[in-house]
Amino acid sequence: MTSRPAGAASGPDSPAGPPNPRRAEILGAAAELFARRGYHGASIGDLGRAVGLTGPALYRHFSGKEAVLAEMLLDISERLLAEGVRRAAAPDPGRALDALLRWHIAFALDNPALITVHERELDNVPEPQRHRIRRLQRAYVEEWVAVLCRLSPGLPDDRTRAAVHACFGLLNSTPRSATGLGREAMGDLLHTMARSALESAAHRPGSAS
């Protein structure tokens, strides 16, 4: 899913019509390149070579390296929020939490390079897009907060947000540092740990478990 902010200007960085497979290929290659070398360690020429294009040919798709990074991180944030909204809408909060966990765990396992770039390179995105990305991130967190508050009405919002951010730290970082487990086993382990931690956090301090 790749959408543009309302009112965005037309041009190489705001395509109209159906998704462009070539742009998607460039974004995927850029994620791997930026995760491996860092944003400043990869040139537009490096990116072009990774997808079989010259630098000038790549400019037909993006106006520059900043535009590639901005679209990549906007896309991540929009995808996370859209699916988060859908899953958080489950009537039963326990099932909603389970659905959110399954979604985020699958995303983390399947997209380690994207998550690395998202964590390290956001400050290199131009301010207007960076502002939008942060708003999308906050909205995604609030979907989780709302589900936890349904599980435990009256839980302080600041405690709940802290728990959600801690959960994201676990889910986003562990797949990149742990070895020896297959994808399914790692997914099950992350789900068990994260669900237990969030349910524990959803009990107000001093309340019976």
Q: Model's pTM, two decimal places? A: 0.84
Distance CA 5, CA 152 (A): 35
pLDDT in tens, 131-182: 999 999 999 999 999 999 998 888 888 889 999 999 999 999 887 666 677 8
Q: How many CB atoms lie within 10 A of CB 90?
A: 15
Token pair for 56: 């000038």
